[in-house]
Amino acid sequence: MKTVKLLCTAFLMFVIAGVNAQEQQQESQKPQGHTNQNKFRQLYQEFRDPSMYRTASGAPGEAYYQNEADYKMDIVLDDENTRLSGEETITYHNNSKNKLEYLWMQLDQNIRKKDAPALEKGSSGMSPASTASRFADQYLKEPFDGGFNIEEVKAGGDKLSYTINNTMMRIDLPEPLEAGESFTFSVKWWYNINNHIVDRARSGYEQFEDGHRAYEIAQFFPRMAVYNDVEGWQNMQFWGSGEFALPFGDYEVSITVPADHVMEATGVLQNRDDVYTKDMMKRYKKAQKSYDEPVVIRTQEEAVEASKDFERKTKTWEYKAEMVRDFAFATSRRFILDMMAVKMNDDSDVMAVSIYPKEGNPLWEKWSTRVVASTLQSYSDHTFIYPYHKAVSVHAKNQGMEYPMICWNYGRPDENGEYSDRVKFGMMGVIIHEVGHNFFPMIVNSDERQWGWMDEGINTFVQYLAEQEFGERYPEAIEGYDTYPSRRGIPANIVPYMRGNQDFIAPIMANPEEVYQLGNNAYGKPATALNILRETVMGRELFDHAFHTYAQRWMFKHPTPEDFFRTMEDASAVDLDWFWRGWFYTTDYTDIGVEDVKKYYVTDKQTEKGRELLERYGANPDEVDAIYVVEEGDKEFEKSMKGKSILENSKKLNEYVMDNFSSEERNNLKVPKYFYQVTFNKPGGLVMPLIVEFTYDDGSTEMKKYPVQVWMKNDNTVTKTIASNKEITKVVVDPDLETADVDLSNNSWPKEETPNEFEQFKNNTDG
């Protein structure tokens, strides 16, 4: 018992000494007079306080409300003069507890007024060289004037006072709109439709060589702004990058276009028998039962024929949509149309639809509608079952834009119908992304004007999942690739951005207008962060349940970033404040490396360091029956101990085992020969789980994953002791590139030497 007691005492003192040393080191590193900079501190300062509207769990509160806006519109598209005019009657429902003295509307087309402030928001230095056409467009031509022309605003036949401030319009109410009441008014307007190929706008027309046009029309009507418990009126100006914040409502829309046009739009087509030919109706009914392949509703031949000879007659298409936040449509005499049915998990049918000019073929007729169908299935699996009756993919050159039930997508073969993998996967990726926007933000209705990442980043993350699943459903589509070649979401792909010049990198929690590289900041980085959260931090089961919870809590509602962050923690019991703080509120990056590896042996012989440790804690080394460790390189001990187990090297430890364990227990004991002390450092600011692969002298490997909390008390270094019966020959941090580590040169022990430029040249030319 004396041996047991002394051994336990010695080991206890050893542990205490190690802990105290670590705490002293950490304490000495804390800057004096500064606030707590621990990465694991809670986000109380960054988050809004919970309220009756939004709970601390991330769910809508008992007093949550959202105002609604219902629209009845009559729209006329003048193809000859490329002009759109309209009249709308809006019924605005004040579901808040507040009295409203005025209403705010969005006039997004005003960004295309010839004197719009947005045209001057950036730098415009002189280029040393330019094409003649670009120079003429920039300096010689009169700017295009595409802003709204408001003709009248009325209520009950009386004119309403209104004020236009750039892209926002304030409607002054005759008397305050009380809580729970509604107000109906009308607006009449028109504007010149822009050529979106020339100015790269979100909507407009493309003019083809034969003089005909394809129209993709959105933001075409004065739209109600959001009023809620977070912002009050969200009346931030539209500068181009920050997109839209819109209330839900019901729409009844009549759109008059040339009679030979084919159209798709948000909502249920009310007069299909009037606007479809008899042949189109037959094909449409067939498509409603076609689950395996698309049915062409309007053929390429029919579209070409319509483009040869057309009359100046018109036709009106009528649509209704319930509980949508916006409305858009696409129309052209050159459009081909195809559809197929998609069976959802609740046994409902949704129509996957594509509409495109012949310039999209053969790529579009082969893949577009299939991609739409697969996207609806994947997104529904990861969030909620798609609630609308259709999803439409419209081919538009250089476009990628989303609206409820309909979206514009690029990806065009060359004039010979040939296309590369880059064009094909670019088309597939943008269709998945834009169709996916039906879920974020068309249904989970976040504020795009303020938080671009909440729709773009979350959607890009689910896009990555949907792309991988599309490759599994259609392996012929990714022939030559092991998996779908996703552009965003893979941790290694965000590394160049993460290690870039920090002067040009903003936190994810930045307004889109403040960001230099919006694609990386609002799309790529948050998508990568969520992929890492799912695969490396939380695990799929916990993540997927929490993500489902968020999507279902906030479908058809207006969530904020805090609602997302809180729900992910609330539904998983995983403390993620460190993750949100690092990835979303800072521009820190991941860089974790192997600083040092030391090998130790166990012995009964006293060592100088062992004596010092015991004496420091008041023990007499000659009276304590202790065991000691010896670092490799101590020639006095190493020769006699190498290759032996710890029980062979330590008689005292062997006696302890024989005295305190049964024969069966001794047979199950681990008896390592080697002890390694591995020190990991973290030059980067982000804390991440420590993923390590150990390689042994027999060629075998072992993967160890230490939780992120290893960095909780020391943000610089972490030391781990590894007991092994085999010699470690290699240590690699993050071997599968899961954490977006920006510097791999320090990830290995022994350090992997990178050949210099001469050695690389020599290796490439030898032989």
pLDDT digits (tens, 9 = 90+) for 114-136: 887 877 776 677 778 888 877 77
d(CA 59, CA 245): 20
Residue partners of 46: CB distance under 8 A and separation at least 6:
581, 585
- pLDDT for residue 638: 62
At 764, the pLDDT band (50, 70, 90 cuts) reads low
Side chain identity at residue 109, one-letter code: Q
Residue 300: φ, ψ to 5°: -65, -40
- What tokens appear for 163 in the block? 């004020």
At 308, the pLDDT band (50, 70, 90 cuts) reads confident
- Whether 555 has a pLDDT exceeding 70, the answer reads yes
pLDDT, tens digit, 9 for 90 and up, residues 52-106: 999 999 999 999 999 999 999 999 999 999 999 999 999 999 999 999 999 999 9
At 501, the pLDDT band (50, 70, 90 cuts) reads confident
The enclosing H or E element of 698 equals none
- pLDDT for residue 473: 97
With tokens 């350090």, the residue in question is 751
Residue partners of 167: CB distance under 8 A and separation at least 6:
106, 107, 108, 110, 111, 118, 237, 238
- Beta-bridged to residue 183, according to DSSP, are 92
Does residue 686 contact residue 613 with C-beta atoms inside 8 Å?
Answer: no
Which is higher by pLDDT, 311 or 501? 501
Residue 351: φ, ψ to 5°: -90, 125
pTM of the model as a whole: 0.91
pLDDT, tens digit, 9 for 90 and up, residues 680-705: 999 999 999 999 999 999 999 999 99
- pLDDT for residue 306: 83
With tokens 């799309």, the residue in question is 523
Does residue 218 contact residue 203 with C-beta atoms inside 8 Å?
Answer: yes
- What tokens appear for 328 in the block? 């858009």
d(CA 403, CA 400): 11
- Whether 663 has a pLDDT exceeding 60, the answer reads yes
| DSSP type of residue 604 | S
Mean pLDDT for the chain overall: 91
d(CA 260, CA 136): 36
Does residue 414 contact residue 431 with C-beta atoms inside 8 Å?
Answer: no
- How much is the average pLDDT of 616-644? 78
Give the end-to-end CA distance of the chain in Å, rounded to a whole number: 70
Helix residue ranges, H only, 190-324: 196-199, 272-275, 278-287, 300-308
Side chain identity at residue 590, one-letter code: T
Residue partners of 477: CB distance under 8 A and separation at least 6:
367, 428, 470, 471
- What tokens appear for 412 in the block? 């065009």
- Whether 25 has a pLDDT exceeding 70, the answer reads no
- How much is the average pLDDT of 740-757? 85
